[in-house]
Copies of this chain bind each other. A is one copy, B any other.
Amino acid sequence: MSARGRGRPRSETARAAIIAAASRLVGEHGYGGVSMEAIAREAGVSKQTLYRWWPTKAAIVLEGLNDAAAAIAPASSTGRFEADLRRFLRRTVAGAGGRNAKLLAALMAAAQLDDGFGEAFRAEFLARRREVLRELLVLGRRRGELDETADAEALTELVFASLWYRVLVRNAPLDGDFSERLADTIMALAGSARGRHDHGASR
């Protein structure tokens, strides 16, 4: 592969400055208040450099998001499924709240308006997050704490659907109460016979 490395290599300095500028600007003015023009200005970089490496501003912001997400450690298991589930939901709900909510909402919005970014967002962000929970549920089923017939895919969808609805519609807060209720619902729908008593949507 001698084709590698001919010419000046890509500047990591520029890349980092761009990601940083984009993240900061989104934090300050919201996703809609950011433009390629502004990112370039703020990062001290030419627009050409932006367009050479990213097709849209959404791609830049997404790269920053994934960089950040990579720093988060994967949930460690306690051995007890329900405890793991509740902890996972607690963390996930908390991570989607606060000032992250606006960013997530803006990214979901961008995914609707730009097909290219939408595909990337669904495949590289949403699907990955779903997968973590799905595996947790499959493990729970294998351990006998969930019904043998429990549909992990459907339950996962239900959880993230509820989460995103609150992020996008803001009809109710993303708090501990919410995460506990999500867990209750899961257990009510799919908890194995020996664990199902009086939990439920009545809570």
Q: Which residues of A contact B (CB under 8 A)?
A: 30-32, 105-106, 108-114, 122, 126-127, 130, 147, 149-151, 154-155, 157-158, 160-162, 164-166, 168-172, 181, 185, 188-190, 200-203
Query: How many monomers of this protein are in the complex?
Result: 4
Contact of A150 among B113, B155, B189, B201 (CB under 8 A): B201
Check A162–B157 contact: CB distance below 8 A. Answer: yes
Query: In the docked arrangement, what's the CA distance between A109 and B113, Å?
Result: 7
Contact of A149 among B151, B190, B202 (CB under 8 A): B202
Q: Smallest CB-CB separation from A186: which chain B residue?
A: B201
Contacts A158-B158, A164-B165; A203 near B110 (Cβ below 8 A): no
Check B154–A181 contact: CB distance below 8 A. Answer: yes
Q: Smallest CB-CB separation from A152: which chain B residue?
A: B201
Give the 8 A-B CB pairs with smallest separation, nearest first: A161-B165, A149-B202, A109-B109, A109-B112, A189-B201, A32-B113, A161-B161, A105-B112
Main secondary structure of the interface of A (DSSP, over half): helix
Query: In the docked arrangement, what's the CA distance between A61 and B61, Å?
Result: 28
Query: In the docked arrangement, what's the CA distance between A39 and B157, Å?
Result: 38
Nearest CB on B from A141, distance (A): 11
Instruction: Sample 15 A-B pairs with CB under 8 A, ordered by A number.
Output: A31-B113, A32-B114, A105-B112, A109-B112, A126-B171, A127-B171, A154-B181, A155-B201, A157-B171, A158-B162, A158-B185, A161-B161, A165-B165, A168-B168, A190-B201
Query: In the docked arrangement, what's the CA distance between A188 and B31, Å?
Result: 40
Q: Smallest CB-CB separation from A165: which chain B residue?
A: B161
Check B108–A168 contact: CB distance below 8 A. Answer: yes
